[in-house]
A and B are shown apart, each in its own frame.
Chain A
Amino acid sequence: MAITADKAKRYSGSGLLYLVLAVVSALSLLPFLWVVLSSLKPHDELYSKHLTFWPHAWTLKNYTQMFERMVGFGLYYRNSILVSCGTVVLTLFVGSLAAYALARFRFKGNRALLLIFLGTMMVPGEVGLIGQYELLSSYRLLNTLTGLTLSYSAFSLALTIFVMYSVFVSVPQELLDAARVDGCSWWESYWQIMIPMGASGLAAAGTLVFLNSWNEFIFALTMNNWSDEARTLPVGIQLLQGQWQHWDYGVLFSSVMLSFLPVIILFLLLQKTFMRGLTAGAVKG
């Protein structure tokens, strides 16, 4: 945001552009900043008549209060992590294998299969809500972490195949041929060539899948909301409303902040790989 004097001169032609960009980024960052600051405000300041942006007094009481009052928080957190990580592992494994087959093997219906997979990305997930509910209910998988993981994996698969296909197609065929001559089986060349070559793609797809399943709300709400044991974090946070009829904003903000933590950590860790992976398939033309 801070533009130094000579840089500002260089960009003066596009000054308007930077103004617009600054306004837009401020618009998207301010609400988030407000939640961060509000989670550190004491209770009476949150509920006072005069709206404050910057806290007058700083406190961590909201966080300690949250752990006292939101009994299932740790459980919801664990559930969310298990479901999201399970989805990522399952989707990346199945999806990259499928992409490997689609990108590297010539068989009948290869093209059609790829188009069908990509076509499922066009269908909104909510269409499958009721069908999946009945399916999981007939397999006794409602209100289990396994059921939700399978459901999320089904939706994330198309995206993973899409990303991994564009990565795997750009791996030079000579490399695979050389491995084949040296006696590599298809399975070995998957593990020893495709996976290392597609690492950045895997990281990008994995991050997207993790974020999607971490934030997912409506499926978790319909399928895993019968008891505490399989409830995920977004649904758990939403329950804060029911427990006291009105939102306890201090507890709400601090729980939102903590639910945001893994996302920030993941993004900071994988930022570079993530960007590279997203553009890897795109630039090829």
Chain B
Amino acid sequence: MIFLVALLVMIGALKVFGQMFIMTQGGPADSTLSMVLYLYNIAFRYGKFRFGYASALAWFLAVFIFLVAVASFRLSRERD
């Protein structure tokens, strides 16, 4: 159970958006930029509406999260 909670919190943290968007807008000098904020900026902020690149970024994030989940499952099974 604690493993599942840890995994869910980790996934939630990888998808963080609101905190950065509201407090710092990713700045100063992109030091608080998160993945979702970056793809949001690419798609809607910079005025060019680069949906293709932003979608690619989103899928990269999804694959990364999937790999993190798989890796955590593997690691937790080894310890049992």
Contacts and interface: CB of A to CB of B under 8 A. Distances in A.
Contacts of A221: 21
Nearest to B55: A130
A122 B40 CA distance: 20
A241 B18 CA distance: 14
Interface string A226-245: 00000000100010010000
Nearest to A215: B18
B40 to A, nearest CB: 7
B40 A218 contact: yes
A139 B58 CA distance: 23
A127 B61 contact: yes
A131 interface: yes
B69 to A, nearest CB: 7
Interface in B5-48: 11, 14-15, 17-18, 21-22, 36, 39-40, 43-44
A110 to B, nearest CB: 25
A234 B51 CA distance: 25
Given A218-B36, A238-B22, A130 B62 contact: no
The number of chain B residues touching the other chain, given as a range, is 20 to 34
A66 interface: no
B18 A130 contact: no
A57 interface: no
Find the residue from A122, A129, A134 having the highest chain B CB count within 10 A: A129
A124 B51 contact: no
A145 B80 CA distance: 48
Interface string B52-64: 0011001101100
Query: What does DSSP make chain B's interface, helix, strand, loop or mixed?
Result: helix
B54 A130 contact: yes
Interface residues of A, number: 18
A253 B62 CA distance: 35
Contacts of A191: none
Nearest to A222: B44
Find the residue from A124, A133, A217, A238 having the highest chain B CB count within 10 A: A124
22 contacts: A122-B65, A123-B62, A124-B11, A125-B15, A126-B15, A126-B17, A126-B36, A127-B58, A127-B61, A129-B39, A130-B51, A130-B54, A130-B55, A130-B58, A133-B43, A134-B51, A217-B17, A217-B21, A218-B18, A218-B36, A218-B40, A234-B18
Given A127-B62, A221-B21, 11 more contacts: A123-B62, A124-B11, A124-B14, A125-B15, A127-B61, A130-B51, A218-B17, A218-B18, A222-B43, A234-B18, A241-B22
Interface of B: 11, 14-15, 17-18, 21-22, 36, 39-40, 43-44, 51, 54-55, 58-59, 61-62, 65-66, 69
Interface of A: 122-127, 129-131, 133-134, 217-218, 221-222, 234, 238, 241
Query: Which 8 A-B residue pairings sit nearest by Cβ, starting from the closest?
Result: A127-B58, A217-B18, A127-B62, A126-B36, A130-B55, A130-B51, A218-B17, A124-B15
